[in-house]
């Protein structure tokens, strides 16, 4: 009995953490701590933070070059493959694979629709992709599979990529040591307007 009281005096078995904290399941010194919060407040704050992060970093075109990150990565991958306006077109499956492997680890199925959109004249006033094959229609018909379509950079896209080798924009390390992600391109034309910020 006396021994139990001594243990209580030493604080054993009690919650000695900061106010609002509770000891973890095992109660040991290295246990995680739980914080009592209204779930509505936590969900609201966490969701809004995540949603804004997605909108700013993925969904909105950058006003500097009028491109979304996914579009920019496709153009960089095509530039790496030397797919300029004067080169031979290659299969979109190759472009999608290189983009996914080097810059955009979210699967080819996500990349190909973005590539297709940059080649559709009813979606973009200034096309960034010079296409060959079935890239869908304004009536809503889907494009052919990526193994059947071919593409290369348009003259507009090539002009945006001309001076990358001269370090005209900052480089950010991403995924691999060899691959870099450009936060924006040098805008030689008002791309944000000419592409309708697709």
Residues tagged active-site: 148
Q: Three-state secondary structure along the chain?
A: CHHHHHHHHCCCCCCCCCCCEECCCCCCCCCCCEECCCHHHHHHHHHHHHHHHHHHHHHCCCCCCCCCHHHHHHHHHHHHCCCCCCCCCEEHHHHHHHHHHHCCCCCHHHHHHHHHHCCCCCCCCCCCEEEECCCCCCCCCCCCCCCCCEEEECHHHHHHHCCHHHCCCCCEEECEEEEEECCCCCCCCCHHHHCCCC
How far apart CA 13 and CA 7 sit, in angstroms, is 8
The secondary element (H helix, E strand) that includes residue 131 is: strand 129-132
């Amino acid at each position: 009995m006396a021994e139990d009281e001594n243990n209580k005096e030493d604080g054993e078995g009690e919650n000695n953490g900061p106010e609002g904290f509770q000891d973890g399941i095992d109660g040991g010194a290295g246990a995680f701590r739980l914080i009592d919060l209204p779930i509505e407040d936590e969900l609201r704050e966490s969701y809004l933070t995540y949603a804004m992060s997605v909108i700013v970093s993925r969904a909105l075109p950058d006003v500097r070059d009028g491109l979304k990150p996914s579009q920019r990565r496709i153009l960089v991958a095509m530039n790496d493959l030397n797919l300029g306006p004067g080169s031979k077109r290659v299969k979109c499956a190759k472009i999608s694979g290189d983009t996914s492997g080097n810059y955009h680890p979210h699967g080819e199925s996500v990349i190909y629709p973005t590539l297709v959109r940059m080649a559709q004249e009813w979606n973009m006033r200034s096309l960034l992709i010079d296409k060959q094959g079935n890239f869908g229609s304004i009536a809503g018909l889907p494009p052919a599979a990526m193994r059947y379509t071919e593409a290369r950079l348009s003259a507009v896209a090539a002009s945006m990529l001309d001076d990358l080798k001269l370090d005209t924009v900052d480089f950010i390390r991403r995924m691999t040591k060899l691959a870099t992600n450009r936060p924006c391109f040098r805008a030689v034309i008002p791309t944000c307007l000419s592409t309708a910020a697709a």
